[in-house]
Amino acid sequence: MTFTPADSGFEQRVRTSFAKQQVMRTIGAGLVSVAPGEVVIDLPFRDDLTQQHGYLHAAIVTAIVDSACGFAAYSLMPLDAAVLTIEYKVNFLAPAVGTRFIAHGRVMKAGRTINVTTGDVIAETSKGTKPIATMMATVMTVTDRPISG
């Protein structure tokens, strides 16, 4: 599927917003690529992000694919819009074992208000790559008000 972004400066806008997500820096995630409706984020394995079996914690897997999906939607939004994640669902396909994790987020349907995105996470291991999670996320375009608590 090909999308035409509403704002031609979409890549810089996504990169600026990603840089403001302090949690991405905290966990060591990086923005690999930004295309219209598609964003890739990666994360090297780190011991301090693990669950009880020593694998990457499911919520950290979720963190990178959630941000990939949110920014994929954001890449298509108008200049003055903010992105709000309404909900997501993740299926975990295999334990998060690997040296590096790569999350792809893609827009499936870009609506006026509601955007549906899908994402997946693959793990890089010494034996190759392996899919470990898949996400479906609903993301809202907010243009008429601040996102506030």
Instruction: List contacts with its own copies (CB under 8 A).
Output: 17-18, 20-23, 25-26, 47-53, 55, 57-60, 62-63, 66-67, 82, 84-98, 108-109, 113-114, 116, 118, 123, 125, 131, 134, 136, 138, 140, 147-149
Cα dihedral sign for 65, 70, 74, 76? Answer: positive
Q: Which of 104, 136, 119, 121 is nearest to 55 (CA)?
A: 121
Separation of alpha carbons 140 and 77, rounded Å: 10
C-beta of 5 vs 60, nearer to its own copies: 60
CB–CB of 126/119 below 8 Å?
A: no
Q: Nearest approach, Cβ of 48 to its own copies (angstroms)?
A: 5
C-beta of 37 vs 98, nearer to its own copies: 98
C-beta of 90 vs 102, nearer to its own copies: 90
Q: Nearest approach, Cβ of 115 to its own copies (angstroms)?
A: 10
Q: Nearest approach, Cβ of 111 to its own copies (angstroms)?
A: 8
Quick one: which H or E segment has residue 60? helix 58-74
CB–CB of 57/51 below 8 Å?
A: yes
Q: Nearest approach, Cβ of 72 to its own copies (angstroms)?
A: 15
